[in-house]
Structure 1
Amino acid sequence: MFCLVAIAFWFKLWEALQSVEVWGFITTLVCVWLVARSSVWNFPVGIIACVLAAVVNIRLRLYSDAGLQGVFIVLGIYGWIEWLRKPAGLATEPEVPITRTSLQLWGRLGAFVVCFTAGAGYFFDTYTNAAAPYLDNFATGVSIAAQYQIARKKVENWLLWLGVDALYTWLYWQRGSVLFSILYFILMLLAAYGYWEWRQLLRRAATAAARPVVPPVAAALEEEPRQV
Structure 2
Amino acid sequence: MSLTELIAALLSAIGVWLTARRTMACWPLSLLAALLYGWVFFKAHLYADACLQAVFCGCLLYGWWRWMKDGAQGDETLHIRPLSERGLFFGLLIGALGGGLWAFFLARFTDDPTPVADALLSSYSLVAQIWAARRHTISWACWIVIDTAYVAMFVSRDLYPTAALYAIFVLLAVHGLRKWQKASQA
The reply on whether 1:20 has 2:8 as its aligned counterpart is no
For residue 90 of structure 2, what is the aligned residue in structure 1? 108
User: In 1, Cα distance between the equivalents of 2:130 and 2:70?
Assistant: 18
Structure 2, gaps ≥5 residues long: none
Q: TM-score by structure 1 length? A: 0.77
For residue 145 of structure 2, what is the aligned residue in structure 1? 163
Q: CA RMSD of the aligned region, Å?
A: 1.5
User: In 1, Cα distance between the equivalents of 2:36 and 2:180?
Assistant: 27
Structure 1, gaps ≥5 residues long: 1-15, 88-93, 205-228
User: In 1, Cα distance between the equivalents of 2:113 and 2:27?
Assistant: 30
CA contact (8 A) 1:173 1:181 kept: yes
Mapping 1:1-228, distance limit 5 Å:
19-86=3-70, 95-204=77-186
Structure having the higher Rg? 1
- Which secondary structure state, in structure 2, belongs to the residue aligned with residue 166 of structure 1? helix
* Higher RCO, 1 vs 2 (CA within 8 Å, ≥6 residues apart): 2
How far residue 131 of structure 1 moved from its aligned partner, in angstroms, is 1.2
CA contact (8 A) 1:172 1:178 kept: yes
How many residue pairs get aligned? The number is 182
Q: TM-score by structure 2 length? A: 0.94
CA contact (8 A) 2:99 2:124 kept: no
> Structure 1 residue runs of 4+, over 3 Å off?
none
Identity %: 25
- Which secondary structure state, in structure 1, belongs to the residue aligned with residue 29 of structure 2? helix
